[in-house]
Structure 1
Amino acid sequence: MTTTALRVQFGRSDEACFSGFVYDPKDLTRRLVLELLLDGVPVRIARADAYAPELASESIGDGCYGFSFALTPELIADSHVAEIRLANGHEAVGPSIKLDAADESISDSRGPGGIEWLGGVRFRGWVRCAPAESPMVRAIVDGEPVAEARASNFTHVGGIDNANLVKAFDLHLPREYADGRVRRVHFVTEDELQLTTTPLTFVAFPDKVEDFFASFGEIESERLRGRMLDRLLPASAPFNSYESWRDRWDIRRHGQESCERPTAVVLIAGGDEELSLQSLDEGKHKGWVAATLPPLEGPGTFDPLELREFLAHEAADAEIVVFAHAGTLFDVFALQRLSEGFAAVSQARLVYGDLEVCDENGRRWPLALPAFDYERMLEQGYCTQLFAIKRASVEAALEAYPTNLYRMFNCHFDGDDPAVHSQVVHVPCALGCAPQLDLTVHGRLLAQASLTHLAARGTSAKTAPQRGTQMPSARVTRKLKRRSLTIIIPVRNRRTLLQTCLSSIAPAVADAGAQILIVDNDSSDADMITYLETLQRRGTEVLAVPGPFNFARLNNLAVDACASDDILLLNNDIRAMDAAWLAEMQSRLAEADVGAVGALLVWPSGMVQHAGVALGPSFAAQHIGNDRLASDPGYGDMLRIARECGAVTGACLLTRRSDYIAVGGLDEVRFPVNFNDVDYCLKLRSQGKRIIWTPAARLYHHESASRGRDQFGDKASRFERELRNLRSKWGEHLLEDPYYNPNLSLDAVPFSALAWPPRVRAPRVNVPPAAVQLPPGF
């Protein structure tokens, strides 16, 4: 096919951006890949698969043949001509653009925005506008506006290297449109800009698909179909509808007197204790006695001797002791649910639940918390705002002389008994509304309590208070133990990527005394081959691994070839932001029960690419934070504190070589390219290891820059096969991730909406996952 047979539009959108569309009129299924050239030199590559409103209005295929290139002003400053050609081709397509001409711009073919259906009645979209603007977007059904949302967030469009930062919005239609009928919806801005040339078609089911199908009769096959659709087409509700959501899915139960136990409530002075006592009076649990402990050394502290006196006299009959800050508004079933937590887990030692927080207008918002997360306890004390302890455990804890709630909780982990972790129970429903705390004061208390605890464990570390927005925050840095390290970087061509990566990580590599092992997978570019030879002469080891690209196999062979204590899997499209990232990751691996450590990865646009992996959304594994800027604190401040998570990405993953070998490394057969990192982390967790993500290790990631995206083109079938394998092997755990709350939605963006309906909200503990062993061929 000649390039003259293509229909092409190419122009300059603004000073440093170019856009257009290209398609083959004789084969509308093709998605062409283009190179942008400046003065004849290729500088960017992009797939022409973006939505182009002009083509959609002409009914050209599905309208998705657009492309865009976003450059820096510095890159085009000394250039004169821009043109495009088919990737690996020789002939330019479309017009060339003279960059020094007075006006070579055209209308932006990328359109004013875009919309994506996330399942249920939830939609996510973007609008092209000035960064300071936040336009309102309206959803139109049958000619009537039914919902609106302001585009006040950020996202990017145009691929990774060609990313354009745009304003984003999240919009839910009213629940009445979840009626099982096929619906069509338009989206327009307040200025009447059409974001959808043709209406989006969707279908949403009432409450649960499983219940909807069950209404057809007692047919097991229909219920099974509904259960699967619940996983694949999850429904959600926005956080700003929390109060109505809570009323709709209220699990407050009567007739649970058998779970009630005599309870002592200890309030730490600093807030309005009368509000707390009033809420306890209004509760369903009547067998309680309360005391407010005055400050010992300032706000947030108490005298352990006064607590001992209270337990010996007024609370002599109490079996359970509940701790909270004065001013906490207890849910009417809070004490009962805490009792249920102890009843559900016979060995339970501590029980905590979710919280609510109030804004300045008194509106309540949900803090849906994970099952027990030791690392997050140290850096945020997230589970210490409202919790319960068995009386005997409180009396034992008093021997450590705790003077604040952070120390009262973490002193139970002063020993080396790993069984204690499984004795912490999480009740996944809101037990109360937390009062406003002085986060500066409490950050200092948390930092000191974590330091005292680590010292009691014999762990050499330092702590420092940090700035939280919803909860206290502290940074924990363990003392590094000098261990040998090999950094493994698979490559195939793309010298510039590798050169940038190596240059950026050089200071950290030198500080760590690490070795670098380049795994070359059939590089054919002469420039790359010469560069690899130069690296070898300078002492960098290069391992040649020919054959089809198999990320798991490349890393497995590299691990076999090295003999270091630890290994770091690193993509060649990574660029370090500073020299401290590697030491931070190594400090997290200092704990013997940590299996892998991941970092904060940021796209060049400033959006978060990876802040850990959540299991369950889309019945798969999704990166956390893709809807946030790197400066955003995240839901519950989770982007600012180190924490455990279901998995971390293999793009930057630190682990022990012995652990890697013990679990069989990455699975070359079932997960050659996708999800091998998730599977690896789950295998580690099945052995009792923890997976840690830390925001203090910060790097840029040009995700899939060297080999493209796996959800498109010829790679799509492989991606789907590997996703099926993930679901088959770890399916039950995908819906029961201890680090993902059952009240949160399972649609594609984790930690961004409420589940409709919530999943099972029984008391839970953080236990290792178990895989389903798949026979060959399945």
Structure 2
Amino acid sequence: MNPIPLVSIVIPAFNPRFFAKALNSALVQAYGNLEIIVCDDSRGDEIEKVVRSLEEQAGITIRYVSNPQTLGVVENLKAGLGLAQGEYIKFLCDDDQLFPGCIEQQAQQLTEHADVNLVLVQRLYWDADDLQLPSRLENSPLSPVSGVFKGEDLLGICESFPANFFGGLSCALFRRLDLLELLPALTQPGHCFVASLDFALYVCLLRRGNLAVLNGVLSVERLYPERWSRQQTQLDAAEVERQWLMQMLKARSGEPAPAPGWIRYVQLAKADTLPRDWEELPLSRTLGTKQTTQNWRVGIASESFAQLYGEWLACRVLSEAQRKLLPDNLAGWSSRPKIVPVVLDEQGSSAALGITLQSLEAQLYAPELTLVLSSACTEPALDGRVFRLPLQDDWQQQVNELLPQLDGVEWFYLLRAGDRLVESALLIMAERISILPNARCFYSDEGGLREGESVEPVFKPDFNLDLLRGYPYVGRTLAFQREAFLALGGFDALHGELAPHDVIWRLVEEEGTRAVEHVAEVLLESAFALSNWLSLPELVGLNRQVVRAHLDRMGIAHEIQSGGASLINRVNYVHEGRPLVSIIIVSKDHCAALQRCVESLLEKTAYSEYELLLVDNGSESAEAKAWFGAMVQLGSDRVRVLEYPRQGNAAAVRNFAAQQAVGQYLLMLNPFAVITNGQWLDEMLQQARRPEVGVVGAKLFSPDGRVLHAGLILGLRGPAGLPFYGELMHASGYMYRLQVVHDLSAVGSDCLMVRKDVFEAVGGLDEAHFAQTLNDVDLCLRVAREHYLVVWTPYAQVALGALPTVTLEEDEQASRVQEQETFYQRWLPVVARDPAYNPNLTLDGLGGSSFSLEPGLRSGWTPFAGRHLPVIMGLPVNASAIGHYRVTQPLIELEAAGRAVGRTYYNLPSIIEVERQSPDVIVLQGRYAEQPINEIHGLKAYSNARRIYELDDYVINVPRKNGHIRNLPGSADMENLVRRGISLCDRVVVSTPSLADALSSMHHDIRVVPNMLATHMWQGLVSRRRTSAKPRVGWGGGTSHAGDLAIIADVVRELASEVDWVFFGMCPEELRPYMHEFHGVIDLGIYPAKLASLNLDLALAPLEFHIFNDCKSNLRLLEYGACGYPVICTDTRAYDGYLPCTRIKTNTTDEWLQAIRMHLSDPDASYRMGDELRETVLRDYMLRGDNLRYWENGWLAD
């Protein structure tokens, strides 16, 4: 067997700030043949100390070199390369990190593919505090799947997108021989790449070989304002080096790409098959779409979490349209609750109190009155709606005495001086009160303030009984219903700071958990943040006291100890008796793991009242059969061996075992589990014996002390995912979730305890629908539906060995897909709103992350949980013209007019997001490719929304010279695709009657909604006339009109000496010499002003005679008309109608010349036609007023 190649990880170190993390990430690589070289370019000894502290425990060679003098980044790289002995080289920047499988997976590609000389991996962006930042163009995958890409093809893309979308050095793996040749050549004196050295290296390598890209997230690039690449010297160098790069790219030679903007690639799974069957990918268009749409997302340029969070908060304010409609919204509420904030000012700080009062004054929903209890107040004073009173020593009793006097007030809201409420805080609170009449208390998400900057947001779960018994996670800013509060007798002053939480417990005891509701919005921020409040020394004792009082009132026998942190309560429930537990272990052939599991269980488990059911699920190996046979021969009452030979149904075999069990409790255990803690079963059982508990899960960890299972979060990376995966065993987790018992929606079956009577009552595992997967999650959800709790405890700890890799057959994979679809159909509303999570937290979990902020979109936020208008979800194909005219802008205008609520997504939202939004209408634009059509199936399966198929072009028959034709299949295939897409929708909306006629056989409900212009973009444009000696004649449009412009090619040549030709957006190369001006493509936002600034005396709109153009709209005439340009156009069905233009009947050069000369011979008459056209367009074709009814009829009306 050939030895695996040596890989050298070269760390050119200078900044010690993150170096330990970088080095650690190199040391934990799974690859078996590594050396690590650290070239220390710093002047201190911090980097060396880190190396010395880690090299003793490292099983990898670390070569440390301290440079005698500072070399700088480039020379330090070269020095490290000179020391490296590996066949492959990984440069690891001192502030970046690698995930454990990075080197192994990259080296495999270089080893298996001789033509590949560069391997890149997907990377995350982290800030200085290891918090994930949003993905952006620079770290987006090049293709949907991992693949090998033609290097030469990529060079053309690099020329049109000079930004480095490949990644930095840390995400690349090189061949050493390539670097020895290229690195010196690129760093010669006088022409030395520094800021763009990585990109220059990639360009050189792509000239001579191919690129492999792994879409798995395997590295981290750290962004922070002080990093080396953000220094001004590097920014300046990058500008110079960009010119060098463009020269390199222009000088390339070799086989051309299939077409401009296209590249060849092969999926990695097929890359071993030679000769390769290359697929083609329009990468330039893909990158362009990502570039235009990413600006709609929050935080795409953020370099710190604080910056990201600040942007996120700034987007969570009411839009102008929402403010305008606020009175109508309030009128639709069932009640308008009167809320009184009660502000405690214990420090007597006028500045802190001013912050709170100012934020209350700015509320969109005004408080009935504000009570201020201040230590700085000497006598009562009423100032408008603010009533100030001296704060008494016992503020709890003072509030008790004041509240009965507030006749007519329904709710009060406890605040502290310094709390800064967001402007919609009371509005949101009031609306939730209105729609949740059974609520008696509200708590919300919250954030901190540090020197006025928003920090430390806390996104809480919905009411979580066991989490609250652990510690007062709900915080101190609580709203109570006054009447219910008084009925309970108010605050008990003995509980001090936690008197409000004692009230919460009494409410729950009296009315159930639904009495306490959670608002999943950051309603306030404070310098006295939740973390500061939880750190108050007195809270430790009070927390035990309050929970003890609650449990005593409930008659629950218990003991309370300190948990993982001093504040945490570890509640031990005391039960009588010792019920029998049936431990079920199902195995097939994994004899060594099973034996280790059973031996550790029998040896270590302290609780003795259990039986062990070992289920042989059709073992085939002689070793396994012999071991099971030996266990039978033991004849133990405690250990029973069952046989279940039927394969392929994990749920059925467990149901079978459960039927044989005699215990009152069932415990499902993975055969790869190893018992290391003797109390594991006691800990699970004390939770499971609580009458309100149905299922209990444990904390599973890997042999190297990493968390593998801490319960499940619904919707995380699929139907249900593992939070905290890979965290250190003793980490506290988000909101202490790894250290405290808490309730979840589901736990996994690797270690799951369930009461047998509950298991039987719900019908056991659903073996008919979830034979292999999701049966444990489904069980938990059915148990929860019967009002039992699913509890996860960190105190039941079980090790889990490495599980064998399973390769699924095609039919098995199909079965799993079907099980997932069935699961969503059954549970999607629950999955989309996991009460143990928070809708503001990410479900994507890129790189395994959980409990991190979901940045989301810049627009579309609403504070309201209720609904008064139809919700339209728009899915435009892009953020440029076609998406703007047909989806985005009509949605904006309908929302501004108070006729609908709009949500725009440029990428298909997950089915969970669709469920959360629950739109009434989904507008699907341009769905005529295989993948977009298949996406409609998911929407149809999981959403009841009306599906609108939006189409603006007759894509079934595209002119041969159209620039987009390469992107499209043949006419017959395209017709089938369009038919399929349309058949999955409830209605078709098109832009012209001609297009409706052409598609009439495909759907019974086709509606015509003409294109119109957005007022804010097209009204009031100014263009001048007679600005030059020659008339300015021109054309403006997109880049796909080669055939249309060919019609007037001879006209352009003929009139080149008589007019100044001005083209905008596109100009065929053969016509460039005749142009007076050519203006390239620009962003849509500035397009109208740019078009008007051309100051044309005459505008042309040629179209080929073709059904595709007959079905087009008159948009070009509208745009010209808004600028006041006189227009000559081809007389096609697209330009039918009453718009005043000169129409060309034949498209001959002579007719075009005659028409142009006619206009130029009488410019005043021509300009009058332009004025008339502008008047008609601004009167009849603006997207406002009654014209919005076209869109209402298209999208909303039945």
Q: For this structure pair, what is the TM-score category when the shorter chain's length is used for normalisation?
A: 0.5 to 0.7
**Distance in 1, Cα, partners of 2:396 & 2:368:** 24
Structure 2 partner of 1:380: 471
Q: Deviations over 1:465-490 (max 9, x none)?
A: 44659xx5322221134322111111
Deviation at 1:443, TM superposition (A): 2.9
Larger Rg: 2
1:440-455 paired onto structure 2 within 5 Å:
440-455=537-552
What's 1:357 paired with?
448
SS in 2 for 1:398: coil
Cα distance in structure 1, aligned partners of 2:684 and 2:707: 18
Partner of 2:342: 265
- Residues of 2 paired with 1:301 and 1:644: CA distance? 37
Distance in 2 separating the partners of 1:720 and 1:301: 63
Displacement of 1:656: 0.3
Distance 1:112 1:716 in 2: 38
SS in 1 for 2:423: coil
Question: How far, CA to CA, are the matches of 1:110 and 1:474 in structure 2?
Answer: 51
Structure 2 unmatched ranges of 5 or more: 9-29, 35-55, 60-83, 104-119, 145-160, 175-197, 203-210, 217-292, 376-391, 867-915, 917-939, 943-1198
**Matched-pair contact (CA < 8 Å) for 1:358–1:433:** yes
Matched, 1:421 2:513: yes
SS at match of 1:633: coil
CA distance in 2, matches of 1:520, 1:660: 22
Structure 2 residue aligned with 1:753 = 853
1:459 matched residue in structure 2: 556
1:733 Cα offset (Å): 2.1
SS in 2 for 1:386: coil
SS in 2 for 1:733: helix
- Contact 1:486–1:568 (Cα < 8 Å) also in 2: yes
- Do structure 1's residue 532 and structure 2's residue 628 form an aligned pair? yes
Query: Which of 337, 345, 358 matches 1:281?
Result: 358
Closer/same/farther in 2, CA of residues 181 and 567 from structure 1, 3 Å limit: closer
Residue 433 and residue 416 in structure 1: after superposition, are their counterparts in 2 closer, same or farther (change >3 A)?
closer
Partner of 1:689: 788
CA distance in 2, matches of 1:236, 1:547: 52
Q: Is the 8 A contact 1:613 1:646 kept in 2?
A: yes
Distance 1:445 1:413, change over 3 A: closer
Residues 1:152 and 1:495: Cα distance change in structure 2 (over 3 Å): farther
Please name the residue that 1:638 is paired with.
737
Shift of 1:385: 2.3
Checking the alignment, whether the CA contact within 8 Å between 1:236 and 1:753 is kept in structure 2 is no
Match of 1:475 in 2: 570
Q: Deviations over 1:16-39 (max 9, x none)?
A: xxxxxxxxxxxxxxxxxxxxxxxx
| 1:202-241 pair list within 5 angstroms | 239-240=305-306, 241=308
Asked if structure 1 preserves the Cα contact closer than 8 Å seen for 2:604 and 2:676, the reply is: no
- Residue 601 of structure 1 is matched in structure 2 by 700
What letter corresponds to residue 126 of structure 1 in structure 2? F
Q: What percentage of residue pairs aligned between the two structures are identical?
A: 22
Aligned to 1:516: 612
Which whole-Å deviations, capped at 9, do the CAs of 1:365-396 have from their partners, x for residues lacking one? 32111111111111121113222110012113
Check conservation: 2:732, 2:738, Cα contact below 8 A.
yes
* Distance in 1 (alpha carbons) for counterparts of 2:653 and 2:705: 30
1:567 to 666, 669, 673: 666
Q: Equivalents in 2 of 1:270, 1:490: separation in Å?
A: 62
Question: Which segment drifts farther, 422-431 or 627-636?
Answer: 627-636
**CA distance in 1: counterparts of 2:615 and 2:349, whole angstroms:** 62
Report the CA distance between 1:651 and its aligned residue. Answer: 0.5
Which among 317, 334, 345 is matched to residue 425 of structure 2?
A: 334
Q: Is the 8 A contact 1:596 1:690 kept in 2?
A: yes
Partner of 2:953: none
* 2:263 is the counterpart of 1:186: no
| Aligned partner of residue 450 in structure 1, secondary structure | helix
Distance (Å, rounded) in 1 between the aligned partners of 2:610 and 2:169: 53
Residue 440 of structure 1: CA displacement? 4.2
Aligned to 2:774: 675
Q: 2:311 aligns with which of 244, 254, 269?
A: 244
| Alpha-carbon offset, residue 282 of structure 1 | 2.5
| Contact 1:610–1:624 (Cα < 8 Å) also in 2 | yes
Instruction: Select the structure that is richer in strand.
Output: 1
Q: Is the 8 A contact 1:428 1:763 kept in 2?
A: no
SS at match of 1:185: coil
**Are 2:792 and 1:701 aligned?**
no
What corresponds to 1:10 in structure 2? 4
> What is the CA-CA distance between 1:700 and the residue it aligns to?
1.6
Residues 123 and 139 in structure 2, CA contact (< 8 A), matched pair in contact too: no
Does the CA-based 8 Å contact 2:544-2:560 persist in structure 1? yes
Report the residue type matching 1:543 in the other structure. Answer: L
Aligned-partner residue type, residue 311 of structure 2: S
Alpha-carbon distance between aligned partners in 1 of 2:680 and 2:350, rounded to the nearest angstrom? 44
Which letter maps to 1:474? Answer: N
Please tell me the residue identity of whatever aligns with 1:754.
E
CA 1:563–1:190 in 2, change beyond 3 Å: closer, same or farther?
A: closer
Please state how far the C-alpha of 1:291 moved relative to its aligned partner: 4.1
- Give the C-alpha shift of residue 351 in structure 1: 1.1
Distance 1:392 1:573, change over 3 A: same
> Which residue in the other structure is 2:758 paired with?
659
Q: Which residue of 2 aligns with 1:221?
A: none
Matched residue type, 1:643: H
Give the TM-score of the pair, scaled to structure 2: 0.45
Distance 2:492 2:753 in 1: 37
Tell which deviates more after alignment, 432-441 or 345-354.
Answer: 432-441
- Note closer, same or farther for the CA distance 1:320–1:125 as it changes in structure 2 (3 Å cut): farther
The 1:361–1:246 alpha-carbon spacing in structure 2 relative to 1, beyond 3 Å, is: closer
- Asked if 2 retains the 8 angstrom alpha-carbon contact of 1:552 and 1:671, the reply is yes
Q: Quick one: structure 1 residues 458 and 645, their matched pair in 2 at CA, closer, same or farther if it must change by over 3 Å? A: same
Alpha-carbon contact 2:698-2:794 (below 8 Å) kept: yes
Q: Deviations over 1:408-442 (max 9, x none)?
A: 33544448868521232211110112512225432
- Residues in 2 aligned to 1:522 and 1:340: alpha-carbon distance in whole angstroms: 58
